[in-house]
Amino acid sequence: MMHPSDEPLWDVVEVSKAYPGVLANDRVSIRLMPGRIHGLLGENGCGKSTLIRLLSGVDRPDSGEIRLRGRPVALTSPTGARELGVSTVFQEFSIVPSLTVAENVFLGRWPRRALGLIDWETMRRRSGEVLAELDIALDPDAITSTLSVAQQQLIEIAKAVAADAQLIILDEPTTALGLDEIAQLHRLLRRMRDKGHAILYVSHRLDEVTALVDEVTIMRGGRVVSAAGKTAVEVDAIVSAMIGGDVREHYPKERNARPQTILRVTGIGSARGVRDVSFTLRAGEVLGLGGVLGSGRTEIARALFGLDPLTAGSLEIEGRRLRISGPSDAIRAGLALVTENRKTDGLFFNFDGRANISSASLPRYSTFGFLSLRREDAEAASLARQLELSRGAEDKSVRHLSGGNQQKIVIARWLLSQARVLILDEPTQGIDIGAKLAVYRLINRLTAEGCAILLISSDHDELLAMSDRIAVVRQGTIADIRAPEDLTHADLVRAATTEIPTEGRTAA
């Protein structure tokens, strides 16, 4: 093991970067030491991403200096940054699904033989060595698209190691991972740290950050508000530095459950592996669905919302038996689904905020096919005010909004559609603390109005705090429903992992 030296590997000194209308980084300084895992935290729009873009050569700073081992360097392109030993794992992976693991590990730098032909033997051997060194159990010949998201992420890291990167930057690496996978990633990162790599780790999951990092830098409004060494690596200190105040109530849970049943699900099944799921949901109640990735929670949501046809069982909303043959029937019956990934199947990036909010309510605004634009405008604007969307969000393309505001837009869509039962699939994933609190308050408001909520979350603290009851999902069915008081964090982990789920994680 190398000893952490006092000499920073990368020293970012007072860099500033402006984008149209916003000073994204304002004299930001950060020192990345070899052999240390450095956490970078802050709310959405605080300038973290900009800093990463500067360090990985995607953008160039307007002023300030970036030094490698004390020498000022210019990071003029992503290729240039890679040559200087910086490897960045972005949220959107840069691996090619149709290629093998080995081909991806050496993507673009395949070992060559004479005449420029690829030296397959060397490539397979060396990628095997890299994977073995990292203790990653993957077959170099496996086709990448057959692997789980977590395994693909490990390939990204193997790629960094194969490229001999001294600095590895990870941007929200665990959003798509299950518990075991997160643990495996953390083990891998610790090992790399011990070998002397510098690691810059960006995440919203505070529990995870405090468990992993050696030091943290916190940003707010484009500036560093707490430099490494000044903040204790513990949740409360980080939260208050991030949002710039004291957070007394992390989870503002209100209990609004009423006696009357609003949704009754009896023995439903679907071709996607949902089997014999039964539960009831009362007005104002939050029913949490706990379980690991691939346990079938999202599939239950899909079946309820009419995306996958039911192969068995029935649904009743407010006593009326439902026939759902697609999302439009579900929406008409008062169901809503906020999906896990707002970027791929939530938002219309060609629309402004207003049209995004109204997209599930078009039937209500149309008479003989003509839309009442004035009513649409008025109601969307009033919702935007209620949800404290950033000013002018209705008129802006949603691509220019922060993650938190985008999430509010998606939820606003279902408030406008007058949903009675909302299915929220990982509603706070990838949004900052301030926006998370806004989502929790929104859950309270909805339940106070009598809506019922089915909450799917992999954040166990959130699930325990915000649910009135928790159903543990395992292999497509509900194994157990209990009150959160009768469950602990540890119970959930245990309940989810007692039977090792097979879906999506068998190594190829």
Partner 1 sequence: MKRIFDAQLLGPLAAMGLVTLVVALTTDRFLDPGNLSNLALQVSIVSLVAIGATVVIFTGGIDLSSGSMVALLTMVLATLVKSMGVPLWPALAGVLLLGALLGALNGVLTAFLRIPSFIVTLAGLIAYRGLALMFNAGSPIFSLDPHLEPVFYGRLLGIPLPFYYLVLFYGAATVMMNNTRLGREFYAVGGNPAAAKLSGINVRRVQTWAFAIAGLMTAVGAILMAARLNSGSPNYGQTLELQAIAAAVVGGASLAGGRGNILSTLVGALTIVIVQNGLNLNAAPSAVQNVILGLIILVAVGFDMWRSEIARIVGGRAARRTEARRGA
Q: Which 54-73 residues touch partner 1, going by CB under 8 A? A: 62
Distances (CA, A) of 17 to 108, 223, 285, 395, 486: 30, 11, 46, 26, 50
Nearer to partner 1, 3 or 374 (CB): 374
Q: How far apart are CA 327 and CA 335, in angstroms?
A: 9
Sign of CA dihedral 439, 445, 449, 454: positive
Residue appearing with tokens 């740290």: 193
Identify which range of 98-106, 124-132, 213-221, 339-347 contacts partner 1 by CB under 8 A: 339-347
Backbone angles phi, psi at 429, to 5 degrees: -70, 130
Identify which range of 6-14, 290-298, 350-358, 480-488 contacts partner 1 by CB under 8 A: 350-358
Q: Which class for 271: exposed (0-12), middle (13-18), buried (19 or more C-beta within 10 A)?
A: exposed
Is position 92 an interface residue for partner 1 (rule: CB under 8 A)?
no
CB-based contact 346:411 (threshold 8 Å):
no
Residue appearing with tokens 């707002």: 342
Is position 330 an interface residue for partner 1 (rule: CB under 8 A)?
yes
Nearer to partner 1, 229 or 326 (CB): 326
Question: In the stretch 409-428, what mask flags binding to partner 1 with x, by CB under 8 A?
Answer: ----x---------------
219: which 2 tokens? 């940003």
Of 3, 92, 344, 502, which one interacts with partner 1 (CB under 8 A)?
Answer: 344
- Taking the alpha carbons at both ends of the chain, their separation in whole angstroms is 32
Nearer to partner 1, 346 or 476 (CB): 346
Of the candidates 145, 137, 128, 15, the one whose C-alpha atom is nearest the C-alpha of residue 67 is: 15
Nearer to partner 1, 59 or 171 (CB): 59
| Number of residues located near partner 1, criterion CB under 8 A | 42
Of 90, 93, 110, 351, which one interacts with partner 1 (CB under 8 A)?
Answer: 351
Question: In the stretch 17-56, what mask flags binding to partner 1 with x, by CB under 8 A?
Answer: -xxxxxx---------------------------------
Instruction: Give min distance, CB of 498 to partner 1, in A.
Output: 33
Instruction: Give min distance, CB of 159 to partner 1, in A.
Output: 28
Q: Which class for 314: exposed (0-12), middle (13-18), buried (19 or more C-beta within 10 A)?
A: middle
Is position 305 an interface residue for partner 1 (rule: CB under 8 A)?
yes
Of the candidates 318, 360, 368, 320, the one whose C-alpha atom is nearest the C-alpha of residue 339 is: 360
CB-based contact 34:215 (threshold 8 Å):
no
Of 278, 397, 475, 497, which one interacts with partner 1 (CB under 8 A)?
Answer: 397
Is position 307 an interface residue for partner 1 (rule: CB under 8 A)?
yes
Q: Which 373-392 residues touch partner 1, going by CB under 8 A? A: 373-374, 377
Q: How far apart are CA 383 and CA 446, in angstroms?
A: 13
Sign of CA dihedral 416, 421, 425, 429: positive
Of 359, 390, 475, 497, which one interacts with partner 1 (CB under 8 A)?
Answer: 359
Instruction: Give min distance, CB of 374 to partner 1, in A.
Output: 8
Of 355, 381, 481, 508, which one interacts with partner 1 (CB under 8 A)?
Answer: 355
Helix locations, 116-148, DSSP H: 120-133
Query: What angle, 0 to 180 degrees and rounded to 10, lies between the N-to-C axes of helices 235-243 and 433-448?
Result: 90
Of 326, 483, 489, 498, which one interacts with partner 1 (CB under 8 A)?
Answer: 326
Nearer to partner 1, 251 or 348 (CB): 348
Instruction: Give min distance, CB of 63 to partner 1, in A.
Output: 11
CB-based contact 42:432 (threshold 8 Å):
yes
What residue ranges bind partner 1 (CB under 8 A)?
18-23, 62, 305, 307, 326-328, 330-332, 337, 339, 344-352, 355, 359-360, 362-363, 365-366, 369-371, 373-374, 377, 395, 397, 413
